[in-house]
């Protein structure tokens, strides 16, 4: 049994560990832990504690993958819903689809018995409004939100520069290797933006025969390189875990245009080895 997660996982990590020790399926164990992260306002990049988009609206993303069946469930830009990792699992279990977004994801959440939540933490709303008032002229504020938003993508972005996700990877008692992610996304993002967290192959990937990987920070880069899938595919082709991550890092380093920043790769192999690599 093995559980690998990043620092944002701390409110739910022990819960997931305990459930894995009890022999629970890896996805059940990880989602139970992530659900605690999503409700904890101390985690400023996930769920209720996260940051809104430019319009002051919360849009949450999540993804899960069963590495034994390679089934995937994912949701993106979901409004009015906090436990989005659990919602992604429902997509996997109940629908022939892999991903739902926006209003459709919220409709499915209601059909699946999820409560209608207000995921905007009051302190996040305060910070968002104060920053908006600093950046916009009185005329722009009077017309907001009926102004061009694209220019704000450079002026108003990620107040705490967290640009992060919670990622969980595990190998459960049956040997299954699985992945789960959840995030509020890039703070102050353009409405509708999706990062890598709900995108299989970019932000997460798992194959019980070889291993799993998940990424945090700059999803715009890992989407372009399919970073999580690269790591697992390299292991399938016989590379060691370390060499597989090196290949993924080399691909990221080849990018010279577009938005470029840091990426953290979390990965494990089927033998129980695990690594976390920070690419800057």
Out of 15, 81, 165, 222, which one is annotated catalytic?
A: 165
Among 253, 255, 231, 251, residue whose Cα is nearest residue 4: 231
- Maximum Cα–Cα distance for the chain, whole Å? 61
Contact of 11 with 40, CB cutoff 8 Å: yes
Q: Which helix (H) or strand (E) holds 274?
A: strand 274-279
C-alpha span between 16 and 249 (Å, rounded): 29
Among 188, 173, 145, residue whose Cα is nearest residue 23: 173
**Nearby residues of 250 by Cβ (< 8 Å), 6 or more positions away:** none
* 165 flagged as catalytic: yes
Contact of 227 with 265, CB cutoff 8 Å: yes
Strands of 58-210 (E only): list them. 60-66, 71-78, 99-101, 166-171, 177-183, 204-207
C-alpha span between 166 and 144 (Å, rounded): 32
Active site residues: 165
């Amino acid at each position: 049994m093995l559980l690998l997660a990043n620092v944002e996982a701390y409110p739910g990590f022990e819960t997931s560990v305990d459930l894995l020790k009890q022999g629970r399926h890896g996805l059940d164990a990880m989602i139970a832990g992530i659900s605690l992260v999503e409700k904890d306002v101390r985690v400023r990049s996930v769920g209720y504690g996260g940051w809104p988009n430019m319009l002051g609206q919360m849009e949450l993303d999540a993804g899960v993958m069963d590495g034994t069946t390679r089934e995937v469930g994912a949701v993106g830009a979901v409004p009015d819903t906090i436990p989005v990792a659990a919602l992604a699992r429902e997509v996997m279990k109940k629908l022939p689809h892999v991903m739902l977004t926006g209003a459709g994801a919220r409709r499915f959440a209601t059909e699946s018995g999820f409560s209608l939540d207000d995921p905007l933490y009051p302190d996040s709303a305060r910070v968002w409004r104060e920053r908006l008032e600093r950046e916009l002229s009185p005329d722009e504020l009077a017309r907001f939100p009926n102004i061009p938003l694209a220019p704000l993508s450079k002026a108003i972005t990620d107040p705490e520069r967290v640009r992060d996700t919670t990622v969980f990877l595990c190998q459960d008692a049956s040997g299954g290797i699985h992945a789960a992610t959840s995030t509020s996304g890039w703070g102050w993002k353009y409405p509708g933006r999706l990062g890598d967290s709900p995108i299989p192959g970019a932000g997460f990937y798992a194959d019980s025969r070889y291993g799993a990987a998940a990424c945090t920070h700059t999803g715009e880069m890992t989407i372009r390189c399919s970073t999580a899938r690269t790591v697992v595919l390299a292991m399938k082709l016989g590379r060691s875990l370390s060499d597989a991550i090196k290949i993924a890092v080399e691909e990221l380093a080849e990018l010279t245009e577009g938005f470029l920043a840091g990426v953290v790769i979390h990965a494990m192999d089927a033998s129980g080895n695990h690594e976390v690599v920070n690419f800057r």
